[in-house]
Amino acid sequence: MQHIIHTALVVTDYDEAIAFYTEKIGFELVEDTVLSETKRWVLVRPKGSNGPCLLLAKAATDDQRSRVGNQTGGRVFLFLQTDDFWGDYKNMLDKGVVFVREPVQEAYGTVAVFKDLYGTLWDLIQRN
């Protein structure tokens, strides 16, 4: 059996990305291990989750830096499922998270699109 354990998200700076995900989105820092002078192994995930982590990967080349915030060509890249959409939505707004699409009720649930500090698009979703 196989399963995905991490998804890499290319970032500009480890510490600012950690701060955004832990302070504004409410994730927990799972691991922050220094691997070299320029590379760290940084994992974050939603508090209380035992599921996959985001691996915050600092861009090291011009090509990688050009992808920060746009790893999917402008499409939503990541999907954050919640069991308290309106509570999380309000909390994120209060902490300065920018929503680029207002909440809507779809056949599958309530969803809104927000962007991270680099512009990566996320769905915040509560399924029916």
Q: What is the pLDDT along the chain (128 residues), one digit of tens a residue?
A: 999 999 999 999 999 999 999 999 999 999 999 999 999 999 999 999 999 999 999 999 999 999 999 999 999 999 999 999 999 999 999 999 999 999 999 999 999 999 999 999 999 999 99
- Residue type at position 52: P
How far apart are alpha carbons 128 and 111 in whole angstroms? Answer: 11
Q: Which CATH architecture has domain 6-127?
A: Roll (3.10)
- The helix or strand, by DSSP H or E, that contains position 55, with its residue range, turns out to be strand 53-58
Q: Amino acid identity, residue 2?
A: Q
User: If we measure between CA atoms, which residue out of 107, 105, 106, 116 comes closest to residue 80?
Assistant: 116
Rounded CA-CA distance 6/24 in Å is 21
Confirm whether pTM is higher than 0.95: no
